[in-house]
Amino acid sequence: MEKRILIVDDEIEMRNLLSICLKPHGYVVEEAVSGYDALQKIMDRSYDLVILDIMMPTVDGFEVLNKIREAIDEELPVILLTALGESEKVVEGLQTGADDYIVKPFEPRELVARIESVLRRSNRDTKKEQFGVHDLQFDLEQMKVMYQGMTIPLTKKEFNLLTRLASNLGRVYSREHLLELEWDDHYGGDTRTVDAHIKNIREKLKQVDFTKMIIETVWGIGYQMVEEEN
């Protein structure tokens, strides 16, 4: 079945460029010229993914994303469009619930690759009690991660962090978002706590001779687990 994508941008040149990039790959593309227009379309029909510009007049991308997550469809995949040098806006978008982002100007191949990655993640069944990623075996019931028959000695927080990243390959999580997701609301720590736990996970993977660099630091934002090679 063809995937339907909604492009949301107030600039006609950008909407045209995105359409030209996507249509040859078999995507059905629709356009929204404003945040308000986007919300109306999303409420009226079903989409597989939304490409959402952050900087728009009147109703900006953050407000659109908030309304999508809170009132329309919390599972609808959303990729943010952002300009160079707007890392703080990217972090805010990821915290709000965006699935990924792409920086303008972009390469068409990168755009398509990110869309395909997000769509794969949205179709992945992350509720299975056991699954494998990058030669690691995850047992959610027993809260264990194994490599070549060896159990990796993770703490509960480390297990939760690694499982979240492994269940969402390619998705970038900000440090702030990981802190919010995996620590109690009343926890008074800061984002260095996340860095410390990621460092411990990497070290414990090395202890069982797992040498792949699968947890990638996204500069200025946070972390992602890289996708498996075909």
As given in the structure block, the two tokens for residue 145 are 């991660």
The domains located in the chain, with CATH, are 4-123 (3.40.50.2300), 130-225 (1.10.10.10)
User: pLDDT band for position 126 (50/70/90)?
Assistant: very low
> How far apart are the C-alpha atoms of 204 and 191, rounded to whole Å?
20
User: pLDDT band for position 230 (50/70/90)?
Assistant: low
Q: For residue range 25-56, what is the model confidence (pLDDT) as tens digits?
A: 999 999 999 999 999 999 888 899 999 999 89
Percent of the residues in the chain that have a pLDDT greater than 90, as a whole number? 48
More confident residue, 169 or 199: 199
| Tokens 């986007």, located at residue | 38
Percent of the residues in the chain that have a pLDDT greater than 70, as a whole number? 93
What is the pTM (predicted TM-score) of this model?
A: 0.66
| 3-class DSSP state of 178 | helix
As given in the structure block, the two tokens for residue 14 are 């950008």
User: pLDDT band for position 125 (50/70/90)?
Assistant: very low
> How far apart are the C-alpha atoms of 105 and 25, rounded to whole Å?
20
User: pLDDT band for position 72 (50/70/90)?
Assistant: confident
Please state the rounded mean pLDDT for residues 175-194.
76
User: pLDDT band for position 87 (50/70/90)?
Assistant: confident
- pLDDT exceeds 70 at position 182: yes
Distances (CA, A) of 149 to 142, 145, 201, 208, 214: 15, 10, 18, 10, 19
- Average pLDDT of the chain is 87
**Closest to 114 measured CA to CA, from 146, 82, 86:** 82
- pLDDT exceeds 80 at position 121: no
- pLDDT exceeds 80 at position 187: no
Please state the rounded mean pLDDT for residues 45-70.
91
Please state the rounded mean pLDDT for residues 44-72.
90
CA 152 to chain centroid: 26
Q: For residue range 144-181, what is the model confidence (pLDDT) as tens digits?
A: 999 998 999 999 899 999 998 998 888 888 888 888 87
Q: What is the pLDDT of residue 44?
A: 83
